[in-house]
Structure 1
């Protein structure tokens, strides 16, 4: 079979399946016809019809069996391309999902640990460098997701662009990251309510309440998830903007505790440590907290399959989300460094999940403002719900995509007629019951170990996204295809992905040094695995898959990479003409407008 005929066959097969399923509603055509033609004659008939529709919504979407003549790689590509997930996410919801997943307890609480270990200058250096490769990652994910808005997205690309064992290891890494984040965030919620002196016997009640809210939101499907994230994100963004404004006022001496503060903490204690080696380790330790804090930025790539118009929604979301996150993070952390010394005893002596150690709370409390610290803690609880909500979304979609790739049992790919990956949602929420460990006196220790599992996972995910982008561009070149057929090009190009991969590699090397030789103590297994647990997990999964499949391929040859299956625009010539017209219109605009559109 020739390459062109194989491509036509796969695309025709996908189009045929999509025509047989109404993906906008999640119902098959037969079911839609039955609902529309059922004209109830009485109120009881109406009630029965609605109840029947509700019950039917949990039934699976029926898809035809894949053509047995397709290769294993082609079957995976077709299965992820025809996934019947709902396409209900709007451009605004996409932006809020990415923003909401990245502004959470990592910023409001985890930054306290970063301030303690890195100092006010170290926290800015760590988060600033992280922001540069986060941008290259987001735009690379945007280019891939716009071209291939398929089920699993960033979980699927490594298998297609690199090779199967790499995809298997990275898919498990990403799934496990979100699987751990749900109970981690709910444990954090339990610790957060301690700020108000909540008795221990009520902790399970708060955890159960938050758990129930997260589960209910995700049972409403992707539309309910998107609406909830819009609300959560707007609250968090408003809080961060308000804190920045308040921080400027307090720094200039305008608070109840009079006196100009300025940059005295930066001048006196910019970095932590007495030697250059200790100061370097302090700065590098910030990257783990930054990776956890920025986790979720890549969700735009995962949500592409459930977006109405990814070609127009994702590029804007990818670019604007970076600027919003960078401005919010850098400005708010600058205010934290100006207002809170890293020697504050409540930072040093507290668990990494202790809301009383949140530098946002300390910055307000230590400058004599009453009431607002409680408001900040309410926002921290909302952040817990938001990140927990994103965890269920990310993990359930990852489980579904992994099943479609044959990595886990096929029943994980169960998608009902409302477009919900039900088995994935149930599995994620079941694992989330670990949150009731909050009743244990060791809840802080539980949080720290869950945090260790999730800490570096994002770095491996981001590395894989940029590596897939590099391989995709290499495949275009090897197959004599042009970037003219791409409706969105990453502004930083392929060199931005090279830069991002290189910086992440350096960070991982530096983190290994810190994990083996921690500051202030002798080398020990406990500190090593709390700092570096993600790498052994990824290597283990990669080696297991290699031994299982006995496939020793390192990279799929660029000329063999499938760069067609999964595209929504199958007429490439018409797409090229449309893109050329859009670029001509943009070229006629003033230079300031072109620069703005390029970066924003």
Structure 2
């Protein structure tokens, strides 16, 4: 390089640094209100500097023309390996975002219909089995996210390790789930208010809740995460409180003097309802109740220390959510008989919640309203998480080339801005809450992505198996991984099998909800499979991609990895193993599995 060109580059760098310092100093001048307005206005601008690992289309080696000619697989590897999103999320943020997305109406409301369909024994059996499937998915996701903390998480892995068409279909199906969930939850929140006031138009409450969600998602991602911590902690406190209350009521401490309950309802009306089909229907409901725990995978690129944070977040979130469901549903099965008519008939979410019914059966006044507040908070928490999830999925799809490129824009505060605006725009569908046929409209909207969670979990397990296969074929092993999933590909294979069993069970229950086949019932659930296949075939035709899956020898298993010193890493792992060997057994057990 000549001295002239060197000095030119140096002067350009100095000019860039001066400009950056001026932009950073600008908000500090003027009045307090002016500074706040300037900071807010500037937050929508692009980041001041590009990440050192980011893909630069102006680079001499990869120009704009080359970028347009990249395949989906190359885009998934290159573009997702860099991000302008801030890496501010910690362990508690990841856990609370996942809990915020998973612990909601599935526990507080839908568990009532599951109890009616399957009985108390079906609740415990189904949630235990699905819990093991979730653990298999969680540890596979943990290994992939620690190795590749890329934008989009598992939506990117499916494109890189399975097939771009599968990644396209799964990514859009998953995005649709969260896009539709936002207006659904806002409408559910308005319905919840009817427990107190049914004389006010539902759209009034929808507007209030929409504004609340809008403001939260216009904050810096760190403050968004803190808001989710507050909402999720409120749910956790309520669940723990119900644990204590449920034990007291079962032991005969109800104020109405109903006496000792114990396992009375397990004998009469019985432990099972509707036989094996009832168990299958609960089996499917249990799978969907865990939806949202995979959000940890969407947050990998926004985590400061993935190697330490993600494995702990994955395992601890799994145990926390699973224990919440199992203990709570066991108590519910003891407190509410499955033939209680209120489980299926009610004017509001609170009136069909088994939690509220259990409290009402005990004759406790005032507490049902408190429980209704918890249900409302749970619904808003899920709505908040849905904006986070769908905006990240849309941004990652844009990075990969599966969505319009403008959706990949990330502003100065680390928000995928345009993707967030699109999500909030879809949220305006919630204003049909006052429409007399809003239930039917949302039923079919939900049908578009009803199986998306199963597709997502299936893709995670398959991606993990394919990644391990690529390591083996390319002559490498797990020694180079910073985190290795417990059980390896065997656990992921178990997850694949169970996911297929859930799809089979859902097919049977959907096609034969009663003794005879019902086409409407079937398409209400399985329409999403048709949408998935349509997306898959359309992408094959559009891209002329006729391969069934990417060959293991052709996979890129390096781009997007968090750069680490392998020698130093091996020393750290050896040091950790020696330190664990000196621990008592119970500490080693906890560290390994929790």
- Whether TM-score is above 0.5 comes out as yes
Query: 2:313 & 2:579 partners in 1: Cα distance?
Result: 21
Give 2:452's match in structure 1, choosing from 454, 457, 481: 457
Structure 1 residues 30 and 109: alpha-carbon distance in aligned structure 2, compared to 1, 3 A threshold = farther
Query: 2:17 & 2:269 partners in 1: Cα distance?
Result: 67
Q: Could you tell me which residue of structure 1 aligns to residue 288 of structure 2? A: 292
1:177 deviates by 0.8
1:159 deviates by 0.3
Q: Could you tell me which residue of structure 1 aligns to residue 74 of structure 2? A: 74
Give 2:303's match in structure 1, choosing from 302, 307, 310: 307
Residue 47 (structure 2) pairs with residue 51 (structure 1): no
Cα displacement string for residues 7-29 of structure 1 (whole angstroms, at most 9, x for unaligned residues): xxxxxxxxxxxxx99xxxxxx96
Q: Could you tell me which residue of structure 1 aligns to residue 525 of structure 2? A: 531
Query: 1:187 & 1:234 partners in 2: Cα distance?
Result: 23
Give 1:282's match in structure 2, choosing from 272, 278, 281: 278
Structure 1 residues 443 and 47: alpha-carbon distance in aligned structure 2, compared to 1, 3 A threshold = closer
1:271 deviates by 4.8
* 8 Å CA contact retained: 1:187, 1:447: no
* 8 Å CA contact retained: 1:271, 1:279: no
Q: In terms of mean alpha carbon deviation, does 446-455 or 470-479 score higher?
A: 446-455
**Equivalence map 1:428-577=2 (5 Å):** 428-520=423-515, 522-577=516-571
Q: In terms of mean alpha carbon deviation, does 477-486 or 409-418 score higher?
A: 477-486
1:354 deviates by 3.1
1:405 deviates by 0.6
Q: In terms of mean alpha carbon deviation, does 294-303 or 561-570 score higher?
A: 561-570
Q: Could you tell me which residue of structure 2 aligns to residue 238 of structure 1? A: 237
Q: Could you tell me which residue of structure 1 aligns to residue 322 of structure 2? A: 326
* 8 Å CA contact retained: 2:190, 2:202: yes
Query: 2:40 & 2:19 partners in 1: Cα distance?
Result: 12
**Structure 2: any 5+ residue segments left out of the alignment?**
1-11
Structure 1 residues 174 and 422: alpha-carbon distance in aligned structure 2, compared to 1, 3 A threshold = same
- Cα RMSD between the aligned structures? 2.2
* 8 Å CA contact retained: 1:289, 1:455: no
Cα displacement string for residues 392-437 of structure 1 (whole angstroms, at most 9, x for unaligned residues): 0000000000001111111111111111111110000000111111
1:31 deviates by 5.6
Cα displacement string for residues 43-100 of structure 1 (whole angstroms, at most 9, x for unaligned residues): 44x7655533432221234673161568523333111111211111111111111122
Q: Could you tell me which residue of structure 2 aligns to residue 219 of structure 1? A: 218
Q: In terms of mean alpha carbon deviation, does 282-291 or 235-244 score higher?
A: 282-291
Q: Could you tell me which residue of structure 2 aligns to residue 158 of structure 1? A: 158
1:128 deviates by 1.6
* 8 Å CA contact retained: 2:179, 2:423: yes
1:35 deviates by 3.9
Q: In terms of mean alpha carbon deviation, does 332-341 or 453-462 score higher?
A: 453-462
1:443 deviates by 3.4
* 8 Å CA contact retained: 1:112, 1:357: yes
**Equivalence map 1:92-491=2 (5 Å):** 92-199=92-199, 201-258=200-257, 259-273=259-273, 278-350=274-346, 354-491=349-486
Q: In terms of mean alpha carbon deviation, does 365-374 or 481-490 score higher?
A: 481-490
1:350 deviates by 4.1
* TM-score for the superposition, normalised by structure 1: 0.90
Cα displacement string for residues 256-299 of structure 1 (whole angstroms, at most 9, x for unaligned residues): 122111111112234555xxxx4111111113322332111001
* TM-score for the superposition, normalised by structure 2: 0.91
| SS of residue paired to 2:362 | coil
Q: Could you tell me which residue of structure 2 aligns to residue 17 of structure 1? A: none
Query: 2:216 & 2:493 partners in 1: Cα distance?
Result: 38
Query: 1:562 & 1:127 partners in 2: Cα distance?
Result: 37
Query: 2:298 & 2:430 partners in 1: Cα distance?
Result: 25
* 8 Å CA contact retained: 2:265, 2:271: no
**Structure 1: any 5+ residue segments left out of the alignment?**
1-19, 22-27
Query: 1:430 & 1:382 partners in 2: Cα distance?
Result: 22
Query: 2:417 & 2:578 partners in 1: Cα distance?
Result: 45
Query: 1:556 & 1:269 partners in 2: Cα distance?
Result: 53
Query: 1:38 & 1:271 partners in 2: Cα distance?
Result: 68
1:39 deviates by 9.6
Query: 2:39 & 2:20 partners in 1: Cα distance?
Result: 10
